[in-house]
Each structure stands twice: as C-alpha cells, then as structure tokens.
Chains A and B, each alone.
Chain A
Amino acid sequence: MNSSYQIGQEQDGKAIWKFLISELKPKGKFLTPFNIISIPIMLLGLVLIVIRFWKGIGAITNLTQEVPWGLWIGFDVVTGVAFAGGAYVLTFMVYILNMHKYHSIVRVTVLNGFLAYVFYAGALLLDLGRPWHVINPIIGNSFGTSSVLFLVAWHFLLYMIAELIEFSPAIAEWLGARKARKILSGMTIAAVIFGITLSTLHQSGLGALYLMAKDKIHPLWYSEFIPVMFFVSSIFAGLSMVIFEGSISHRVFFRQISEKNQQAQHGIVLGLARICAGAMFAYFFLQLLVFIHGQNWHLLNTPMGLWFLLEMLGFVMLPMILFYVSYRTGNIRLVKIAAILAMLGVILNRLNVTVIGFRWEMAIRYVPSWMELVVTLAVIFTEIWISDG
C-alpha cells in the first residue's frame, strides 16, 4: 500500500477508470436542482450558438470595433485557464517534489484540468470569426511566430497531449496492455515536466497577450509584468479551485480516501491553504512593487482606483490572511471561505485586465449581453456535466 503515490500506479489507475465510469453512468434522481437550472440554460445556449454561426458574432454579443474581445475571452478562456492551474501545481508537488500527501487528489485534478482545457478551447472556437481556419497556425505555411497568441495556441495543444500521456498508463492498463503501460509510465515523468513547463508559459502567455494593448488597459492593471502576475496568481487560483471543488462535490477528497481517516483529508486541505498563503503573499508583494514602480498614486482616489484597492485588499490580502490563519489554527471552514474569496479575486483581476479596465475611458462601455452570459453559463454547465456526472 505504500506505493500508492507512484506514478501510474496500478490501483490508482483502476480506481480512476472505475470512478470515471461510475461518474458517467446516470444515477439516482434526474430532476435535481442542478439539472433543473442547467438543462434549460444549456439548451438555450445551443440555440444561441446556432444563431451565432448563422448571423455572425454581433448577433448575440455586444462586442464592438473598439472592444473586440469580451466575456468569452476574458472569462471563459483567460479566467478559466487560471482556475485549471491546479493541475500543474499539484503534478509539480507530487511528481517532482514527491510530496506524497497530495497523491490521492492529483489524478482527479489533472483530469479536471484536462476537461477544462477541452472546453475552453471549445469556447475559443465560438469566438473565432473564421473558425474553419483554426488549423492554419498548426499545419500550414502560416506560422505567425512573432505572435503571443501563436505561442498560446500551440501550448494549449501540446499541453493537452502532455496531459493525455500523463493519463496514458491508466488508459493502457485499462486496455490491458502491460508492456505499453510500462513504456508509457516511463514517459510520464517526461510528460509531467513538459506539462509543467508549458503551463508556466501559457499561464503567463495569456497575460502577455495584452502587452500590446498598452494604451487601452487602465494603468493600474497594465504593466510589463502582467505575464508574471498571471503566472503567480494561477498558482493560488488553481489550488483554491481544488479546495473549492473538494468542498462542494466531495468526490475529489472523499471518494478515493473515504476509508482513511478524516485527518488525511484535513491535512491535504490545510497543506494547500499554506501554499496558497505563500503564493498570495508573493503575488501581493509583486503587485505592490509594480504599483510603487508605476507611480500611480494619484489614480488611487478615482473610482477605478478604489476598485483596484478593493481587489488588492479585499480579494488578495484578506484571503491571504485567512489562509494563513486557517492553516495556523487548523480551521477547515476558514480555508473554504478563503478559497472562495481568492477565487473571486482572480475572477476580478482577470476581468479587470480584459474587460472592466479595457477601454475604461470610453463613453459607451462594453457590457456583455445576456446572450453572452447564457453561452458562458452553458459552457460551464456542460463542463460540470461531463466532469461531475
């Protein structure tokens, strides 16, 4: 039983597949509150998507020539990918640092991360005006190598392949191919390292996308360090998501270690809280340095400045302190509250860079249409449906 933290360990692999299959099987009541809300929204979303491909993106979005990227990029893609960051942080902790304690949750987190990527890539397709050319930068003679977006697109693709390989020992085993499994689990550590490297790059790359929009983003959120900020915040964004998922669905923690004592689970949650506190401290410190360096004191006493202070104090500093206190006192409830606050903070930050602070000075601001919201919700619900059963 001691070997349960080994990569591609047999029982673990089996457990995953058993768990996956049981998750996908319809079970129990159909008319749960979640289904009652999510099914109509998903259907409506589908109708809206049809309209979008029939009449154009402008038919269901409020995007303008000045604000060409809105909620779908700012929330679905940029924020969503930050929340999927738990996968690379946990694989780093478990497979590279050999922190065995977290082994029981790493696979599920990686699976969730993988599904999240599939859906964000899907959401990205909705936003492309000419999606039939999406493979151009992958196959064709059209390599826009000086483009940050080119880099991000490639990294998404390669990352998904790396994640698949991380899973492949489990897949091979499921197919009963012992030999393949052996080779593949040898590849796993390479895939893990590759995956972590790609993650650092595309998490920061999503921030780097906005570097050329220098004159369009509010100076309190624009700096040449956006990529670093996005990377550091993805660490606690991802881990807070893991804590959050664990507390709402219970399957992340309970399903696999239900026989073991509660203590182990609490140990994991508190350990994550400690890491979050550390990452948030680093992030807060960086933000502070950039703020001082930017010499933007005079902007603080404006509506946008107060909004910035709210983000930094209420949704970075406060959860940071709560994480720290909860870790010191072993208060699991407090960890969950801190995780939720930290997640809200990341949502705020990503939206402030991509939507709220983007073209903040314009007389007529972009506000997403209800249809954009419905499609966003539909994407999220579909992902929950697939990953949560």
Chain B
Amino acid sequence: MGLNRRNFFKLLGVSGMTLAVGKTANAASTENATVEFYGILYDSTRCKGCRGCEYDCADAHGFPEPLPAKDIPAIRTTNETCNTVVNRYKTSKGEVFIKRQCMHCNEPACVAACLTQAMHKTKMGPVTWDGDKCMGCRYCMVSCPFDSPKFEFHSPNPKIQKCDMCFERLKTGESPACAFNCPNEALLYGKRRDLLKEARRRIYEKPDVYLDQVYGEHAAGGTGWLYLSPVPFNELGLNNSLQQSSYPALTTGFLYSVPSIFVLVPAFLMGIYQATKNNTPNGKEEDE
C-alpha cells in the first residue's frame, strides 16, 4: 500500500533537516548522550508509607502541610498545592506504597511543548519552570505523558506547579529534600547511570523480592526517577504501556518538514502562477 508508515514525513523531514542548519530539537537528543543527568531511585520495597517526603516537600516549596493519613484517600494525584504524593495500593503481594511526582524525563515532552522555554531541562537533570517566561498556555500539561505539570486554575496570576527535584538545593550541593530526609532509605539521589547500576544490583541480589524491571529506564525515552517494585508497575498506577521512546520525537517529523515546505510550496505555487498567468481572457497585466 502506498501509505507507508512515516514515509510522508520522513521524506519531507530529511530534506528539511538538510535545509535547517543546527536544529535545536536535534541538539536536545545528542546532549543526552554526553551529559550525565542526576536522578532519584525509589525502592517501593523499602518505603513504609510514612509520607515524610510529602511533608519535607511541602516545607521546601512553601506548600500547606499535607493532611493526616486518616483524612485522605489511599490513592491521590499531585495537584497545584502538592508536588508529591505517596499512594497505597493493595496488590498481589500485599500492600505496596508508591511515591509519585514529575519523572524528570531525559527528553521531556513538556520542554519540547513549551513555546517560551519556561520549561527547561537543566544540565543536571531536573526539569524546572520559569515564571518570567511562561504564558500559561498549558501545552506542557497536554503533552506530558505523566500528567505532572499542574496549573493554578483559581488564581489570576497562575503558576505551573510540579516537582523541580529541589533544583535550588542541588545548586548548593545538597540533595533533594525528600531523598535527604527519607528515614527508610527508600529514596536514593545520584547520577542516573549509577542509580541504574544500583537498581540492577538489588534485583540481582534479591530476584524473589523484586520484579525484574526498572520503571523509568526506558519509559517515555527514559526518566530521571527510577522505580523498583515487587509487583508489575501497572498494579501501582504507573502506565506500563507508554512508548519506550522519546515523546518529543513524535513531533520532530512535522517540525523538520517545515523548512522544506517553506521552500517547496512557494516554488510550486510560483510555477503554477507563471504557467497560468496568461490565461486571462485578454492577457492583460495589471500595470498596463
């Protein structure tokens, strides 16, 4: 069949890339290969569900103090006044806790979506938001496969809220508030490469305890947060059917085709115009 997957965009895209010198979208993915991102490894077998990280996070970001456990449902999402939640799931292996927050993707959809560069993937790894640039279009929210950015719908001066991996603390050499304070060592902050090794080691040493998968190693093209669990991740509300490649790549075909369209279409139109110009009944030009 003539409709071969991606061929249409590929064709345009290839010519577009040759026309557009130094594309930024291209630079983003090569950067990932060379720069070492930092991240956090969350081990749900160590987490006792004390929700201490929720309190530390609220403290570090000036949010209201989280409600006590008896007043909240077992499963929540983050929102504009709370960057992280610890959820409790009944699973095939008993009760398992899971901490949720922005995943700090290697190739973040939100950053590719943002037209003002307010969403920014820092060289260290955290994805941050800049209120001086953001215009509040919420395209980052539409694009994020994890629904992480939250919007202050009830403010006349609304901000986008999401985990920033305590970037301010990281800059001074400290670790994120949640990882720093976790009493059970369920959270480990470090270089993503080292964290992956550590995760592999734990799985290798206790194959009966852990599921043989590190969530975040490949999901959405790899994320800064990595998860270990005793049960399949969809039992914990993590989407295990997300594509394994980068989300921004979904739009690069279209974006790369733009330069070639800008060359080909006008040339094409000009050609037809020249060919049909004298079709007027008396061939009269305007200036005459």
Q: How far is the CB of A71 from chain B (nearest CB, A)?
A: 14
Residue of A nearest to B281 (CB): A2
The contact sample of 6 A-B pairs, CB cut-off 8 A, is A2-B282, A54-B156, A196-B265, A211-B250, A215-B145, A224-B250
Number of interface residues of B (CB under 8 A): 75
> A369 contacts the other chain (Cβ, under 8 Å)?
no
Interface pair A146/B265, CB less than 8 Å apart: no
Interface pair A57/B158, CB less than 8 Å apart: yes
Residue of A nearest to B155 (CB): A56
Interface pair A146/B112, CB less than 8 Å apart: yes
Interface string of B123-153 (1 = CB under 8 A from A): 0000000011111111101110101001111
Bound together, the chains give a CA A54 to CA B242 distance in angstroms of: 39
- Chain A residues whose C-beta falls within 8 Å of the C-beta of B116 in the assembled complex: 133, 136-137, 140, 142, 144
Main secondary structure of the interface of B (DSSP, over half): loop
Bound together, the chains give a CA A59 to CA B152 distance in angstroms of: 11
- Chain A residues whose C-beta falls within 8 Å of the C-beta of B242 in the assembled complex: 215
Which residue numbers of A lie inside 8 Å of B, CB to CB? 2-3, 5-9, 53-59, 61, 63-66, 68-69, 92, 95-98, 100, 127-131, 133-134, 136-137, 140, 142-151, 153, 182, 185, 189, 193-194, 196-197, 200-201, 204-205, 208-216, 224-225, 227-228, 289-290, 293
Q: How far is the CB of A15 from chain B (nearest CB, A)?
A: 17
Residue in contact with B248 in the complex, picked from A2, A64, A92, A212, CB distance below 8 Å: A212
Interface pair A185/B247, CB less than 8 Å apart: no
- Chain B residues whose C-beta falls within 8 Å of the C-beta of A201 in the assembled complex: 258, 261-262
Which residue numbers of B lie inside 8 Å of A, CB to CB? 1, 3, 5-6, 8-9, 24-25, 28, 77, 79-80, 109, 111-118, 131-139, 141-143, 145, 147, 150-158, 239, 241-243, 247-248, 250-255, 258, 261-262, 265-266, 269-270, 272-273, 276-277, 279-282, 284-287
Interface pair B269/A197, CB less than 8 Å apart: yes
Q: How far is the CB of A142 from chain B (nearest CB, A)?
A: 4
Interface pair A65/B151, CB less than 8 Å apart: yes
Residue of A nearest to B80 (CB): A65
Q: How far is the CB of A247 from chain B (nearest CB, A)?
A: 29
- Chain A residues whose C-beta falls within 8 Å of the C-beta of B248 in the assembled complex: 146, 212
Q: How far is the CB of B141 from chain A (nearest CB, A)?
A: 4
Interface pair A200/B261, CB less than 8 Å apart: yes
With A133-B116, A182-B287: A197-B250 Cβ-Cβ less than 8 Å: no
With A136-B135, A289-B1: A8-B269 Cβ-Cβ less than 8 Å: no
- Chain B residues whose C-beta falls within 8 Å of the C-beta of A212 in the assembled complex: 109, 112-113, 142-143, 145, 247-248, 250-251
Bound together, the chains give a CA A61 to CA B25 distance in angstroms of: 34
Q: Nearest 7 A-B pairs (CB), nearest first?
A: A129-B136, A58-B153, A130-B136, A150-B115, A212-B143, A68-B138, A133-B135
Bound together, the chains give a CA A185 to CA B287 distance in angstroms of: 9
Interface pair B142/A146, CB less than 8 Å apart: no
Bound together, the chains give a CA A49 to CA B131 distance in angstroms of: 23
- Chain B residues whose C-beta falls within 8 Å of the C-beta of A228 in the assembled complex: 8
Bound together, the chains give a CA A90 to CA B45 distance in angstroms of: 65
With A2-B281, A95-B273, A130-B136: A149-B261 Cβ-Cβ less than 8 Å: no
Q: How far is the CB of A157 from chain B (nearest CB, A)?
A: 12
With A58-B154, A95-B273: A147-B139 Cβ-Cβ less than 8 Å: yes
Q: How far is the CB of B30 from chain A (nearest CB, A)?
A: 13
Interface pair A144/B286, CB less than 8 Å apart: no
Interface pair B255/A65, CB less than 8 Å apart: no
Interface pair B145/A214, CB less than 8 Å apart: yes
Bound together, the chains give a CA A214 to CA B239 distance in angstroms of: 13
Residue in contact with B158 in the complex, picked from A129, A143, A153, CB distance below 8 Å: A129
Residue of A nearest to B253 (CB): A224
Q: A65-B147, A127-B137, A149-B115 are in contact. List 10 more A-B contacts (CB 8 A).
A: A2-B282, A2-B284, A56-B155, A92-B269, A142-B118, A201-B258, A209-B139, A212-B113, A215-B145, A225-B8
Q: How far is the CB of B241 from chain A (nearest CB, A)?
A: 8
- Chain A residues whose C-beta falls within 8 Å of the C-beta of B252 in the assembled complex: 146
With A97-B276, A197-B266: A144-B158 Cβ-Cβ less than 8 Å: no
Residue in contact with B269 in the complex, picked from A5, A54, A193, CB distance below 8 Å: A193
Interface pair A6/B253, CB less than 8 Å apart: no
Q: How far is the CB of B261 from chain A (nearest CB, A)?
A: 6
Residue in contact with B135 in the complex, picked from A2, A53, A130, CB distance below 8 Å: A130
Among B24, B114, B131, B287, find the residue whose CB has the most chain A CB atoms closer than 10 A. Answer: B114
Bound together, the chains give a CA A122 to CA B252 distance in angstroms of: 28
- Chain B residues whose C-beta falls within 8 Å of the C-beta of A215 in the assembled complex: 145, 239, 241-242
Residue of A nearest to B288 (CB): A3
Interface pair B153/A211, CB less than 8 Å apart: no
Q: How far is the CB of A358 from chain B (nearest CB, A)?
A: 9
Residue in contact with A96 in the complex, picked from B135, B243, B276, B282, CB distance below 8 Å: B276
Residue of A nearest to B79 (CB): A65
Q: How far is the CB of A155 from chain B (nearest CB, A)?
A: 9
Residue of A nearest to B161 (CB): A65
Residue in contact with B24 in the complex, picked from A54, A59, A61, A146, CB distance below 8 Å: A146
Residue of A nearest to B110 (CB): A212
- Chain A residues whose C-beta falls within 8 Å of the C-beta of B8 in the assembled complex: 225, 228
- Chain B residues whose C-beta falls within 8 Å of the C-beta of A5 in the assembled complex: 280
Interface pair B139/A149, CB less than 8 Å apart: yes
Bound together, the chains give a CA A9 to CA B9 distance in angstroms of: 40
Bound together, the chains give a CA A5 to CA B284 distance in angstroms of: 10
- Chain A residues whose C-beta falls within 8 Å of the C-beta of B266 in the assembled complex: 193-194, 197
Bound together, the chains give a CA A136 to CA B134 distance in angstroms of: 8
Among B79, B80, B242, B255, find the residue whose CB has the most chain A CB atoms closer than 10 A. Answer: B255
Among B9, B250, B276, B279, find the residue whose CB has the most chain A CB atoms closer than 10 A. Answer: B250
Q: How far is the CB of A99 from chain B (nearest CB, A)?
A: 9
Q: How far is the CB of A21 from chain B (nearest CB, A)?
A: 25
